[in-house]
Every structure is written in structure tokens, then in C-alpha cells.
Structure 1
Amino acid sequence: MRRVTPFKKLDGLAARLRDDLATTQIVLLFAYNRTGKTRLSMEFKNIGKRKSKKNPAPVPDTLYFNAFTEDLFVWDNDLDGDSVRHLDLNSDSNFFKALKELALDETIDGYLKRYADFDFDIDYTAWKVSFRKGDQDNIKISRGEQNIFIWCLFMAVCERMLDGHVSYQAHKYIYIDDPISSLDDNNAISVACDLAKLLRKAVNRKDGTGVAAPIKVIFSSHHALFFNVMCNEIGRAVEDEPRVAHKRYFLHRPANDGVYTLQSTEDTPFFHHVATLAELQRAADPVTGMLYTFHFNALRSIMEKTASFFGHSSMAFCLKALNNDEDRALFNRALNLLSHGAYAIHEPTEMGEDNKALFRRILSDFIARFEFDVPSLPAPRAPRPVRAASPAPVPVEAPAP
């Protein structure tokens, strides 16, 4: 069983990631939304600016991309004239400090043409960006197009950093958190491949004299496809390049109580459904857990995703894989009956004891049959109080999904 390391605070977790980068080149983190990835990225960069025994002369040492980076770009929609729309850039941010000298327009455009079909103009005096397409000027682009433009600008800044631009001499790290919100899967794959190529260049970087001068990297995402492509691209062998030393982790916050857990995923990335299975195991614990009827919805969803992964259209594939004919029929009736709207998460109803026992059997058999490597999460601080069980609904036959 892989070790799960708990952290009570984000500063300890961020320090652990910096320690990791002393012995490896890239750290890849998978964590689903609301885990604290953005706050972790900010804590990581703040360590470099904080005076300590290890860092007596602090300087900003991290170029980062996260939700705060995207917030530096704000729309002016010309509410009066409704015709001249543009993005305002927050010129007070250090992110734009050297933008005028970097001459990024051509590099940004080189990336942008891979993903989009609009053009842009940056006004460095007024600190604004306008967009055009064909014969239309000052157009409003979609949120997805806006995000991809910001991402292309960031990639262009990264290239200048790797080229050794004077504005980034003190930077030793790149931290990228969830760069692809609002992107479709097609663009997600393209962006991941381009990013992996850039990061390989960063960790194999050399200075003007040929001496190794790597930029270490942290990458985090909740997007399973993007994360998987990144793992494959970073982990594969490339001709005439050394292999990239990297670590992969599943970052989790088991009980939303401020405790974070970090688990190495070795060769197999964790995805969000594995995290959900861990939560269901916690809820199903007969001593400390609390099972509600909506947990059947979650289990059904995981079975459907698992069936889809193996190329099947229905969770019946997962049920057929179980060993006991009687259990298969019972599980099918239970999942169909207990995983619909009457048992919504908005009006949680505790399961009856019979259904709790049935749920535990389904969950246990499913995990065992498909050999999920579910993380062993720390136990809650104290057992939850025992509540009176709701009456168990009577299982009835329901149509197949």
C-alpha cells in the first residue's frame, strides 16, 4: 500500500513540494476541485518571498499561472457605445512588469494560431488588448477563447524566462495550476502536448556557457484527460534527450477540515473517481461513517464511468463482472431504485440499516473485482454521533439503465 502523508496546513505541504524539487525536476499533482490547489500554488510562491533561516535574503523565485493570473485580465465591454470592447490589463501586477521589453506578440500569435482563429492587438500604452476576426474589429471573444489567449501569453512569457531574460534571473520555479478551464478535450490534448514540450525544455535548460541551469516545475490539475496526457508526455523517452525525473501525486482533502493528504501515484495517475471511491469508503465505515441515499448516485456514476472506460454503454457491464448471480440481480435492483431524484443530495436522507449493508457489499465487491487502488485515508478526528436510521425502502424491480 502506498503511503499517505497528511499535512495540517498548506505551508507544510508547499515546503514538502519544494523539498521534492531538490531531488527531482517536475512534480505532477492531480486533485479535484475545491481541494485547495490555487491556495497551495500561492503558498508555494510566497515561501520564496518570505524571510527565514533557509531563505535569509528572500526574492520572488516562482513564475506562476493560476486563477489569480486570469484575474489580471478584465473586460471593458463599452456599455455606452456597445462597439469597442477590449481586455484591460492590470499593469500594477509584476506579471506585466517586463511585458513591453519582452516583445511577445509574435510568440503569443504562434501559440494562439494552434488553438484559435482570431487575432489580437496589445496596446502597451493604455494596457489593453483588443481582438479581431476577419473584417470585424474590437470583438468580444468567448470565455474559452479569452482563457486560451491568456494561456498563450503565459507560455510566451515562459519562453523568455527560459531564454534567460534579465527580468527572470532570480526565478527557479514554474508553478502551473489548472490552465485549461473552458477548453474542449481536443484543445486540452494539444495544450498538454505543447506544455509538456516546454516543461521538458525548462528542466533541461542550460546557461550561455553550457552549464545546467534547470527551472523546476510544479503542475496541478483536476482535469483527468489533461493530467493523463501530461503524465504520458513527461514520462516518455524522447530521442537525444535525457529522461525527465518527476513525481506524481494524488492530492486530497478527505473531510474538508483543513487536513490535506499527499499520496504517490507512481506509474498510474489517480483520477477523480478514485477520490470519490475513497470518500464512499469513508462514508461506508460502520463505526465512523454516515451513509445517505445520495451515495448510491455517486456509486452508480462511478460504475457508469468505469463501464465507459472499458467501451461499454451501461453499468450493467460492471454488474455482470461480479461473481454471484444472486448478488448481480440484487445490486441491479438496488442501484436502479436508490440512485434517482427522490434521494437527492439537496435533501439528504440517511439510509436504513438494510440498505447500508447492501451498499457496503456493492462497494466492496466493485472495488475488489476491478482492483481499484483506493488511497488509505486518515481516520476522522472523532466518531460521528449515531443517528436513528430512516426506514429502508422496499426494493422493487426497475427498468435497466
Structure 2
Amino acid sequence: MTKTLEEIAAQLRDANKKVQLIYAFNGTGKTRLSRAMKNLIAPRIEGDDTPARNKILYYSAFTEDLFYWDNDLKGDGAAKLVIQPNSFTDWILVDQGQEVNITRVFQHYSKAALTPTFNQAYTRDNADGSKSEVKAFSEVTFTIEAGDDAKTDAFKISKGEESNFIWSVFYTLLETVVAELSIAEPDQRGTDQFNALEYVFVDDPVSSLDENHLIELAVNLAELVKKAPAQLRFVITTHSPLFYNVLHNELDLKKKPANDGCYLLERHADGSFTLNTKYGDANKSFTYHLHLRRMLEEAIAQDKVERYHFTLLRNLYEKTAGFLGHDKWGDLLNTAEGNKEAYVRLINTFSHSSLSTEQVADPTPQQKQTVKFLLDNLINNYGYWKQEAQNG
């Protein structure tokens, strides 16, 4: 039976498990599920100013929205990563003073010399001649430490490094929370702000990491889950087979009855969802490529191709290209009639806009037909697919 994301969030809550691990393809709805879970566990109540983080901590694309770049193009100043006012970073930076540990985690997963520096409070001169106060720990600049106290000018880091930094803030918060809640007597803890914490929701942390660092991140996260007291329950979602497999093994989920707590989240053409129990790790269970093909064929048959289907099509091309030894998924378009570059642009336009749907119009009928055309190109021109269909 299909469900809404709100119903799936309720299913996860009612399962009452220490950890639930969910695999989902990009564009399926993992990030929206994190928001549905937050609204369920900590609904906004008029007149109640209790922060949601008192009951649930969550890391997702919404967490990254708390950070944005001020490139100061007019003032010719340093590029700064600005932290929007929020209780999440205020607690970990202002109240707990964890900037050193954030830097430690960040440098471990990136470059040891790449150094974030948090601002102290200062007064800013505005363009209209007025002045405004800038709070401490509301801006971050990044430099490369060159030795002998020398360093580069502040510069804008890459999107992957930015995601890594934001994860480092969240992970440091999570380390601190687990350490506090592991103190049995509440009155001996350094803070009572997390005494009522129930859930931690983690959605796809730092997908830009190389394999070695991604494995290490998964191992470290699994260790935190195992250290956490019984009151804390975790929901972890990912599109990465490697990240899923490491967590699956490190958390000993293969030893649970019927692979208790392991799922595949599917989105259907009508906008509904299914949360299916999965058995075994990703290599044994998901057959990603066949699943993607079925989802695309279903959408095409029902004339319900949407933006996210372009993401699925790209994933399918990437999976096939990797298996066949191609460096670029676009190489597989050489067998398709028409303009290869135009096909690449079309797929990239939709697949890179999954979180900014207001900027890209719905696919036109011709673009929907292109999805069918390019899926047929893959199936009809690569014998690998015929063999997989027999094996599937």
C-alpha cells in the first residue's frame, strides 16, 4: 500500500527502533521526509517557543540553507560564509565553544591546511552610511595555512568543501549531545537542553567525499549511534550504495531478524511512496539499475514524467557507464540520434534543479518524449541490459 511522506514518517516513529537505515535514489524525497519527520516529532504549537532541536536534530539540505556566501563584490572584501540566525549553531558555537572541534573534524575530511576562522563581534559600516552590529560566530572565512604563521587571503571554498564544513558543524554537535546524554544523572550534565531529545535524522552527509573518507565517515557515524543512550533513535537516509553498505555492516543490521530497520524508499508516478523492507546489503538487494528502469518505464507508460525522472535517467546512465568502463556517462549518448550536447544539457538542467524547482519549468511533452528516447537508447544499444533483464 502506498503512503504519503507524512504517513511514512509516522511509520518510522511508531517502529520505535534504535536505528533505521533507508536507501533512496536521488530525487525520491529523502530531504522532504526529514522535514516531515521534524514536523511530526516537534510540531509547531502557537505560543510554544521550545526549539525543535530539543526533540529532534536533523541534517539535510535544509540544514545547508542556514549558510550562504557573502562575496562582497562591491566592497572588495573577503568572501565570507554567513550563518543565518538560528538556535542550532548558536548553541554549539556560542554556548558550547566548539569551534576548535569543528575545525578538527573539517580538516580531517578535507585538507589539513584549509582553516575556517569564525568572526568575533564587530561593527559594520553599511553602504548608506549607517552602522550595524555583527554577532560573533555569525561569519566564517577560509584560508590556507602555509607555515611560519603565513596564510593565504580568505577565499570562497568549493561546494563540496562547504558541504563538508556544514556536516562538521552538525557532527560536532552530535558528538557533544551523545557525550552529554551518556551521563546517567541528568543533574550532572553540562546542559539540560537535550534531555528530551528523541530523534536524530541524517540525510546523505557529504556525498562529495572520496571513497576512503566516505567509509571513515560512515564508520564514525555508526560508532556514535552505538554509543548513544537508549533514548536516542536514529533515521539515516542515503543514495550512496557504499555509505549504506558500511553502515549496514558496522551497525550489525545483517544480524537483525528479517533485516529489521532496513528499507528502500520508492516514489511512484502518482506522487505516493512506499517504504519497503530490504534484505541484505546494497550489493545483494537493490539491483539499482533494474529498479531505476522499472520506475522510468512506469512513468513513461502513464505519461507522468516529472523533473525528478531526469535525475533517475542520469543515475541510470552513470551506473551503466561505470559498469562498462566509460569515464563519462555522456559517452553512452554516442549511439543516440540527434545532438548529444543538447541531451546532456537537458538532463543536467532538470537533474541539478531538484531542490530549486521554482527555477525550472515542468518538462514539456517533447522533453518527456526525450526521456523515453534516451531510455530506449540505453536498453536497445547495450547488450549488457539484455543480459541483466535475463538475470533479473
Indicate the TM-score class for this superposition, using the shorter chain for normalisation.
0.5 to 0.7
Is residue 247 of structure 1 aligned with residue 261 of structure 2?
yes
Instruction: Provide the residue aligned with 2:355 in structure 1.
Output: none
Percent of counterpart pairs with the same letter? 33
Paired position in structure 1 for 2:9: 14
Relative to structure 1, the CA distance from residue 79 to residue 251 in structure 2 (aligned partners, 3 Å threshold; closer, same or farther) is: same
Question: Hey, what does 2:154 align to over in structure 1?
Answer: 138
Q: Distance in 2 between matches of 1:271 and 1:124?
A: 51
Closer/same/farther in 2, CA of residues 168 and 58 from structure 1, 3 Å limit? closer
Other-structure match for 1:325: none
Which amino acid is the alignment partner of residue 76 of structure 1?
D
SS of 2:276 mapped into structure 1: strand
* CA-based RMSD: 4.0
For 2:77 and 2:64, the matched residues in 1 are separated by 24
1:109 maps to 2:103: yes
User: How big is the shift at 1:290?
Assistant: 10
Asked whether 1:187 is paired with 2:182, we answer no
CA distance in 2 between partners of 1:351 and 1:237 (Å)? 38
Q: By how many angstroms is 1:141 displaced?
A: 1.4
Match of 1:265 in 2: 278
Work out the CA distance in 2 between the residues paired with 1:199 and 1:276.
Answer: 31
Q: Report the residue type matching 1:195 in the other structure.
A: L
Aligned ranges 1:207-356 → 2 under 5 Å: 213-235=230-252, 247-255=261-269, 257-269=270-282, 270=286, 272-279=288-295, 282=298, 305=319, 313=325, 340-342=336-338, 346=367, 348=369
Q: Residue in 2 aligned with 1:319?
A: none
Greater C-alpha Rg = 1
User: Residues of 2 paired with 1:181 and 1:273: CA distance?
Assistant: 19
Tell me the distance in 1 between the aligned counterparts of 2:164 and 2:58.
16
Within 5 A, what are the aligned runs for 1:107-186? 107-117=101-111, 118-123=114-119, 125=121, 126=135, 127-134=138-145, 135-164=151-180, 165-186=191-212
Establish whether residue 48 from structure 1 lines up as the match of residue 64 from structure 2.
no
Normalised by the length of structure 2, the TM-score is: 0.67
- Residue aligned with 1:133, SS: strand
Say which SS state the counterpart of residue 169 (structure 1) adopts: coil
Residue of structure 2 in register with 1:386 after alignment = none
> Following the alignment from structure 2 to structure 1, what is the Cα–Cα distance between the partners of residues 156 and 371?
48
8 Å CA contact 1:86–1:130 kept in 2: the answer is yes
AA of the residue aligned to 1:108: I
State the Cα distance separating 1:338 from its structure 2 match. 10
Label 1:177 to 1:299 Cα distance change in 2 as closer, same or farther (>3 A).
closer
Cα displacement string for residues 330-360 of structure 1 (whole angstroms, at most 9, x for unaligned residues): xxxxxx99951449683727989xx99x97x
User: Aligned to 1:19, what secondary structure does the other structure show?
Assistant: helix
Give distance in 2, aligned partners of 1:69 and 1:111: 18
Size of the alignment, in residue pairs? 310
Q: Equivalent residue for 1:378?
A: none
Counterpart-to-counterpart distance in 2, 1:140 and 1:337 = 35
Q: Could you list the per-position Cα deviations for residues 120-177 of structure 1 after superposition, in whole angstroms to 9, with x for gaps in the alignment?
A: 1223633111222121142221111111111111100001111224222221110011
Cα distance, 1:289 vs. partner? 8.5
Q: Deviations over 1:53-103 (max 9, x none)?
A: xxxx99651100011111111111121343422111112x22124131212
Structure 2: unaligned runs, 5 residues or longer: 122-134, 146-150, 181-190, 327-331, 348-366
Q: CA deviation at 1:25?
A: 1.3
Q: TM-score, normalised by structure 1?
A: 0.65
Q: Is 1:133–1:139's contact at 8 Å kept on the other side of the alignment?
A: no
CA contact (8 A) 1:252 1:275 kept: no
> What is the SS of the residue equivalent to 1:6?
coil
Distance 1:113 1:96, change over 3 A: closer
Contact 1:75 1:87 in 2 (8 A): yes
What is the letter of the counterpart of residue 179 of structure 2?
Answer: D
- Give a deviation string over 1:222-275, Cα, whole Å, max 9, x none: 22322222223222799xxx99x95111111121x2210111112133264243
Check conservation: 2:80, 2:156, Cα contact below 8 A: yes
| 1:33 to 2:18 alignment | no
Aligned partners of 1:83 and 1:138 also within 8 Å: no
Q: 1:354-397: CA deviations, max 9, x gaps?
A: x99x97xx899645532x3xxxxxxxxxxxxxxxxxxxxxxxxx
> Distance in 2 between the 1:299 and 1:128 partners?
39
Amino acid in the other structure paired with 1:11: E
Q: Which residue of 2 aligns with 1:77?
A: 71
Q: Which segment drifts farther, 57-66 or 142-151?
A: 57-66
Shift of 1:307: 9.0
Contact 2:42 / 2:56 at 8 angstroms: preserved in 1?
Answer: no
- Report the CA distance shift for 1:89/1:341 in structure 2 as closer, same or farther (over 3 A): same
